[in-house]
Every structure is written in structure tokens, then in C-alpha cells.
Amino acid sequence: MFGGLEHTAIASPNPRGLASWYVDTLGFRINYEYDGNYFVKAPNGAMLEIIPAEGNRGSNRMRDPGLRHLAVMVEDFDAAYEHLRSAGVQFLGEPYVNQGNRLVFFSDGDGNILHLIQRENPLP
């Protein structure tokens, strides 16, 4: 009956700017646009919808209730990390290894939390 998640939405004070950040920084592409909303699609088919924000941003700490981060998978952690560093991405800590997986947390152009991950073994 249910086919899975089609997309995740992020409210932004500058939807076009944030969509461009995902395109320029992570290699996504804008695949659909309407009324100031932008769908960006990752190379693996995952999609984000970036919508116009209203009001002030709430707190955005790692353990606050709600959606906390988007995980971006890579095959070559070192190359991806260096690409993000050279693009001036703000990291929220240093890279580390957890159960054989390499990861680092960082912020997108609006300060939303993402994390780069290279898994030793894919999740089941």
C-alpha cells in the first residue's frame, strides 16, 4: 500500500538560494519548480522539497525533538570531505569513525544539519 518516502521538505527564507546550495555543493539537480518551491534530486534519486519559510527559525540543536539531520552517503569519504572543505562548508565537528563507518556533521546554506557518511557495510 505505502511505497516509501517520496521527498522531505525544508522551509527556507531563500528557497532558490538553498536549492542552488544543494546543486552547487552536493551535485543535486533542480528537477521541479512551482510557486517558489524547488524540488532538488540527488544522484541516487532522493528528493528534497525546499519551500518558502514563514516566521523565525526555532532551535536547531542535534538532540532537539523533530527531524535532526539528513545523511549524505558517499563512496569516497576523503574526496567528499575535501570537496566540502574547499567549498567553505561549516563543519560541526571533526570526522570520526563509528562502528566502521566514517562520518562528519556539517551545515547546509541555511544551517540545517547534514552528515556525510561512508558505511563499511550498507544497512540491511
C-alpha distances (whole Å) from 9 to each of 1, 38, 95 are 22, 10, 27
Please give the domain boundaries of the chain with CATH numbers for all domains.
1-54 (3.10.180.10), 67-124 (3.10.180.10)
Q: What percent of the chain lies above the pLDDT cut of 70?
A: 100
pTM: 0.92
Q: What is the pLDDT of residue 65?
A: 79
Q: Is the pLDDT of residue 58 over 90?
A: no
